[in-house]
Amino acid sequence: MKKWLAGIGAFIVLLAIIGSMNDDQKTGVAEEKTTEATPESTKQETNTSDINTSESSSQPADPDSEEKKEVTMKKFKKIKNGMSYEEVVRIIGFEGTEMSSSEVAGIKTVMYSWQNEDGSNMNAMFQNNKLTSKAQFGLK
């Protein structure tokens, strides 16, 4: 039940973030991508990016945190916009759960969630593997 509620909450956060984006930002970025690359090369680039992401092995910052697998407020505050998913994983110490993924006009958006046993959690939104927003609930 908690996972289901966390999933719904994460989805609502995703919708709120996407809905709050300025229309100029959406069209400006999409136009840049369209003029820089053809649909075939964009698709090819994305596939290469996906392969590189899955092959990379992110090492946790602290070996002890791998066993505990807990995201804390201290770790949350170290995470900054513009970081890659791999950099965020190094700070947190373990991989997040992919909650949603989409690609529109060559911009790949992925939302990850990290959940603690007590229900506290954090969500992070990445566009083209760069952190664009983060949120947390109940972290200590």
Tokens of 99: 């909650």
3-state class of 97 per DSSP?
Answer: strand
- What are the structure tokens assigned to 82, written together? 């513009």
Give residue-wise pLDDT tens across range 34-93.
Answer: 333 334 433 444 443 444 444 444 455 555 444 689 999 999 999 999 999 999 999 999
Q: Any idea what DSSP says for residue 126?
A: E
CATH classification of the domain holding 76: 3.30.1450.10
CA distance 112 to 73: 17
- Comparing C-alpha atoms, which of 133, 132, 88 is closest to residue 114? 88
- Number of separate domains in the chain: 1
pTM, two decimals, is 0.56
The whole domain housing 84 covers 2-137
Three-state DSSP at 60 gives coil
pLDDT (tens digit, 9 = 90+) per residue, 114-137? Answer: 999 999 999 999 999 999 999 999
Separation in Å, CA 6 to CA 40, 68, 81, 133: 36, 20, 22, 17
Q: Which residues pair with 108 in a beta bridge?
A: 103
